[in-house]
Amino acid sequence: MSAFSGVLNTWKLPALPHQAADSRLEIAVEQAIRRMGASSVDAPPAAALGKAHAEVQALAQSGWNGGVSRKSLRYAPWAIYYTDSADETPLIGRRGFLKAFLDWFQKHCTVRAALNLATVYLERYDPESVEQELMRAYVLNILRKRPEPKAVQFLERAERWQLLEKKGSAKCAAAFTKSDLSPSEFLYDAGLTAQLAAGGFVEDCLIRMSEEVGLRILRGGVSTGDVERLLALASDDRGVSLRFGPRTSGKVAEALLLPFENQNPTQELRSTIEPFLLSRFGDPRIQPGPWRTVGETAVAIFRRWLVSETIEDFFRLLDANAKFDRQADRHWKYRRAFWSAYLKNGYIDDAWVALGSKVRVNARKYLSSVSGSYADLTGAQPNHAVLLMRIGVYTITEWSHSGKYRLWELSSKSAPKLYQNHYQREALVSRPDFEGSHHGSDNGRWQGTLSDYLREHTGVAIHHRDLMPR
């Protein structure tokens, strides 16, 4: 091994922001590492892959007598997975093939072909696969017998990060969690770059790491930095999209959310997790598609967070409006206390806000950056806003100014639907099943009337004294 090769192989890329992930320095380092054999290799082009598949298949049919071209030998690790039609079984799926192939391969492979086999193993890594375990054992055995510097370097990294150990992904994830490396530094140091950064081994590392972080959240022993490293590994190199597909990303989301089924996150943790999930998955109230691989319980937890954010936004907006708008309801503090009590006790299942044109202009000054979008409100005064909520089987509206509270059973044709983009005032005041004015705020008169109605029809009960401002 040359001195330069040794330095390059152990050199660690400094932590870089995601926006700098495609810098010329990083690209140059990646290319240099590849030349020294310290990273993954590019998969073969389709034509070469098809040719390699045909030659390996013919060799197997001949009883492994003979050989293949040098290029096909190099591409053989990919060729055993190749099919040219959806109903064709790949070579690796045929009974007895893999063992025979690996016996032949270890006798004839070059160091480049051996490293390609290691690459394919890490790309298609599956800790539960019998075939993968067999391939792991052969990769380790082949590389240990190779004297070339590239093979030695690969084994050094494999040993450092336990890439070729049984259940190696779990061990690698544990080693990364204990280290002080950033995800980008970890991937470079382990040689898990290029296609391997989005391969099966890294994917399973992410799953194992998310499980560990989830357990530590549940036990109260996780730091914001731990969560941030998980989120960085779950994101692509540019930090704008998810590194893996829906199944794995769904597991990460569940690991972050399920610990909060019976507890609330700290503000620091929530402000780390919530923007990430919103930017990667969207708002499940209006974009349910990306959340389909996330379990119902986890989605319900995140919706609860968003409901809280939406209502708090409405409160902030109305507090600000009351300072500058003489028409703002002077009794707003009583309504805020009332609905805050229902929110605090977890009784508000859904919430949405519609904003008049004047309110909307200044809304961004008071609305949180993670609470999603809001609806337009027309047909009302431009400085008005309305909060729509669902408690049990009722849709409820509460207006920013001196409007009535109104309740509709969800089964009513007149009941407003939540999460629409636009509302007309008429649709939000027509034919409610129950309504009332906010009279007697100081002595709790309307609060008692409305809370008694909710208790009788939904079973939700809050003591009257808890509905008043403190």
Q: Is the pLDDT of residue 366 over 60?
A: yes
Q: What is the pLDDT of residues 235-281, one digit of tens each?
A: 988 877 899 999 999 999 999 999 999 999 999 999 999 999 999 99
pLDDT confidence band for 326 (50 / 70 / 90): low
Return the pLDDT at 316: 83
Whole-angstrom distance, CA of residue 88 vs CA of residue 90 = 6
3-state secondary structure of 388: strand
Q: Is the pLDDT of residue 7 over 70?
A: no
Q: How many CA atoms does the CB half-sphere of 162 hold within 13 Å? A: 13
pTM: 0.83
Whole-angstrom distance, CA of residue 79 vs CA of residue 397 = 62
pLDDT confidence band for 23 (50 / 70 / 90): very low
Picking from 215, 188, 258, the residue whose alpha carbon sits closest to that of residue 10 is 188
Whole-angstrom distance, CA of residue 326 vs CA of residue 23 = 54
Residues 6 or more apart whose Cβ sits within 8 Å of residue 249: 234, 242, 280, 281, 293
Q: Is the pLDDT of residue 302 over 90?
A: yes
Whole-angstrom distance, CA of residue 317 vs CA of residue 337 = 15
**Cα 197–Cα 6–Cα 235 angle in degrees, nearest 5:** 15
Q: What is the mean pLDDT of residues 138-151?
A: 96
Q: Alpha carbon of 58 to those of 74, 96, 403: distances in Å? A: 16, 15, 81
Return the pLDDT at 17: 43
DSSP for 154-221?
HHHHHHHHTTTSTTHHHHHHHHHHHS---HHHHHHHTT--GGGGGSHHHHHHHHHHHHHHHHHHHHT-
The mean predicted confidence, pLDDT, of the chain is 88
Return the pLDDT at 40: 53
